[in-house]
Amino acid sequence: MSTAFSFAPTRRRRRISLTPMIDVVFLLLIFFMLVSRFGVERALPIVLPGPAPATTAYDGPPRLVAIGADTLRLNGAPTSLATLPDALRALMQAPDDLIVLRAEDGANLQMLVTVMEALSRAGLSRLVVVE
């Protein structure tokens, strides 16, 4: 028979306080609310073409805009973004003629979007993006 010696008076166990944990959770909630972005992202209106009739063919001179990492070319000739709409209009027979955009190796998406927005602002909205 063994007896346990107790030199201190027995104490009741304390319950764990949840207050510090709740404080941390609210601080995290406030932090993520402050660093989150609330708002509408900009979007490009892209209209997907339907099936083309069999009699529709490409007409007129070529209008190929090649978008590179640091270059912009119209039918192989270097051009700038500012002069691109006027150069394209000179090649077009009607305002709704088709313009082909091609992103080359090394081109980023932002440059493609910038070219599309510039052409849309100039009234040239019939664009096709190819690989």
* Structural domains in the chain plus CATH codes: 64-130 (3.30.420.270)
Of 123, 128, 111, 114, whose CA–CA distance to 48 is shortest? 128
pLDDT of residue 62: 81
81: amino acid identity, one letter: L
**What is the chain's percent helix, strand, coil content, to nearest 5?**
30, 15, 55
Banded model confidence at residue 3, pLDDT cuts 50, 70, 90? low
DSSP letters, 2-37, are ------S---PPPPPP-HHHHHHHHHHHHHHHHHS-
Q: Is the pLDDT of residue 54 over 60?
A: no
Banded model confidence at residue 28, pLDDT cuts 50, 70, 90? very high
What pTM did the predictor assign?
A: 0.57
Q: Is the pLDDT of residue 30 over 90?
A: yes
As a whole number of Å, the end-to-end CA separation of the chain is 89
Looking at per-residue pLDDT, the higher value among 78 and 38 belongs to 78
Alpha carbons 108 and 113: distance in angstroms, whole number: 9
Average pLDDT on 85-100 reads 83
How is the beta sheet containing 127-130 ordered, strand by strand?
77-78, 72-74, 64-67, 99-103, 127-130
